[in-house]
Amino acid sequence: MTGPGRRSATLAEPDPARREPTRPREITGTTRLYAVVGDPVEQVQAPMLVNPVFTEAGLDAVLVPVHARPRDFPTVLAGLCAMANLDGILITIPHKVAAAELADVRSPAARISGSANALRREPDGRWLADNFDGAGFVRGLARAGHRVAGARVHLAGAGGAGSAIAVALLEAGCADLALHDPDTARSGELLGRLEPPWPGRASAAAATPAREVDLIVNATPLGLRPADPLPFDPAALPAGCVVADIIMKPARTRLLRAAAERGLPTHPGIHMLAEQVDLYRAFFGLPDTR
């Protein structure tokens, strides 16, 4: 991203399980700003991953959470984009679809998925939207040793993150993708966008898998709050099915605990974010000096 007075920064991929708290740098009039926008924002992990990296690298930059309710999101986004000392915007629940719609330009991933989780200012002043949720999710699965190529996948959720994950799973060569969302219009629109590049590979599904499945993914917000119901019943899953959740806080959601109690392998949401750090660095044009 370009911007008046922008300073180069380097994002190294931190280990969220081992990183010790780091004292933040003093905020001054020269501090460059990054924002992560969502509703709610209490669960966001990006500031805890990125700000210690800024501090350790001696960068005068900070990533802050911005709480924007859906009705206010267009106004908040327009205000952020107008800030001359803002170098990047990350987007989380539930604004990813709206962010893609409001951006001036969309990457292929943002266009096919219909959602965005990162925005940058182009040299001509327009804002480009991209989505790294799917790529980060698939990278996280690979790093954990979970196979995607040839896998039979059930995906719960066709919202901002779910749509990006659907694209990435198909790109990674999953055998077929069964998609469920209570909003059948939304899931139908996503299936329509997935059909041209991957004909016959994605289809609508019921909430509970009706066939053998190798990987099942919760890409819904269910699990953010203690009282949330489970997005699907792990008891109905075959032995060996990997249960993945994109919820990052709590780290071990009710779904993952229930799946583990039934002896199923689980995959928590933090990996999706941790694997995106390199992608963000490339997107924002930040040098890799590691």
- What integer is the mean pLDDT of 172-200? 96
Q: How far apart are CA 275 and CA 151, in angstroms?
A: 21
**pLDDT at 278 (0 to 100):** 83
Q: How far apart are CA 137 and CA 272, in angstroms?
A: 4
**pLDDT at 249 (0 to 100):** 85
**pLDDT at 194 (0 to 100):** 96
- What integer is the mean pLDDT of 250-265? 95
Which residues, 6+ apart, have CB-to-CB distance to 80 below 8 Å? 35, 37, 66, 86, 89
Tokens of 131: 């989505």
**pLDDT at 288 (0 to 100):** 62
Give residue 286's pLDDT band: very low, low, confident or very high (50, 70, 90): low
Which segments of 163-209 are extended strands (E)?
176-180, 202-204
Return the amino acid letter for 142.
A
Is residue 50 within 8 Å of 102, Cβ to Cβ?
Answer: no
Listing DSSP states for 128-149 in one string gives EEE--HHHHHHHHHHHTT---T
Residue with tokens 């489970």: 230
How is residue 70 annotated by DSSP?
Answer: G
Tokens of 151: 């896998």
Q: How far apart are CA 245 and CA 266, in angstroms?
A: 8
Give residue 165's pLDDT band: very low, low, confident or very high (50, 70, 90): very high
Q: How far apart are CA 246 and CA 47, in angstroms?
A: 17
State which H helix or E strand residue 260 sits in.
helix 254-261
Closest residue by Cα to residue 194 from 167, 171, 214: 167
- What integer is the mean pLDDT of 209-217? 91
Residue with tokens 């905020």: 27
Listing DSSP states for 75-97 in one string gives HHHHHHHT-TTEEEEEE-TT-HH
Q: What's the pLDDT tens digit per position in 12-35?
A: 444 444 445 445 568 999 999 999
Tokens of 134: 């799917």
Q: How far apart are CA 76 and CA 259, in angstroms?
A: 39
pLDDT value at 132 more than 50: yes
Is residue 256 within 8 Å of 243, Cβ to Cβ?
Answer: yes
pLDDT value at 250 more than 50: yes
Q: How far apart are CA 52 and CA 85, in angstroms?
A: 20
Enzyme catalytic residues = 96
